[in-house]
Amino acid sequence: MNVLIADDEPHMLHIIKAYFEREGFRIYTAEDGEAALKILSSAGIDLAILDWMMPKVSGIEVCRHMKAHSHAKALLLTAKGEVEDELLALEAGADDYLRKPFDPRILLLRAKKLLLVADDVRVGPLNVDMQGRKIYKDGMDIEATNKEFLLLRTFIEHKGRILTRQNLLDQVWGFDYFGDDRTVDTHIRRLREKIGEHLIKTHRGVGYSLEVPKEHPNE
């Protein structure tokens, strides 16, 4: 998932970025609100962590703008401690609000909660260890490559949606990848060989989607 961290304190940016990258998030950083808005307009951001007091454009103004133009989650960071400030943040569309100083581990947990990221996810016969980046089928490690894990994680994060090759390239290979988009087909074929053909459905001329088996109510 793509996370924007916007804060005018470089040291704070470095610390938060390290914690989130360790958990597998793709991180974008900005040191002022204007830079944050540019990233929001060009990258598919899932969560924006915004410092309230930023140069050029404040975090709360960035929050208002992004909520009017996207479905991304917003978490505001601030040294302000008044109840009225928290109300103002929530009225601007913030999904969560965290006062400084804070423990980065708390911020990480809040972010995961907003993004509905679990440590372990069950998909049919698969158990996906999100932190360990491993995929187990019927209890056995399928020894997925990094790209195979990232592909499955992307499908899980967008469950119920058809993802185009370009969507998958952006999420797994990165926005700066300029290779052949057929590499997606190759990696999906190899992933299917390991997890089963029926879990990833091909939508001809459109893309792929994750097909989660329905559970029987008595099971």
- Could you state, in order of their start, the residue ranges of all structural domains in the chain? 2-115, 120-210
Strands, E assignment, the chain: 2-6, 26-30, 47-51, 73-78, 96-99, 120-123, 126-129, 134-137, 140-141, 200-203, 207-210
| Average pLDDT score over residue span 9-29 | 89
Confidence band for 51, pLDDT divided at 50, 70 and 90: very high
Residue 187 banded pLDDT, cuts 50, 70, 90: very high
CATH no. for 120-210? 1.10.10.10
Q: Same CATH topology for 2-115 and 120-210?
A: no
Identify the CATH number of the domain defined by range 2-115: 3.40.50.2300
Which one is predicted more confidently, 78 or 6?
A: 6
Question: Tens of pLDDT along 73-96?
Answer: 899 998 776 777 778 888 888 889
> Between residues 171 and 164, which one has the greater pLDDT?
164
Q: How far apart are CA 71 and CA 67, in angstroms?
A: 6
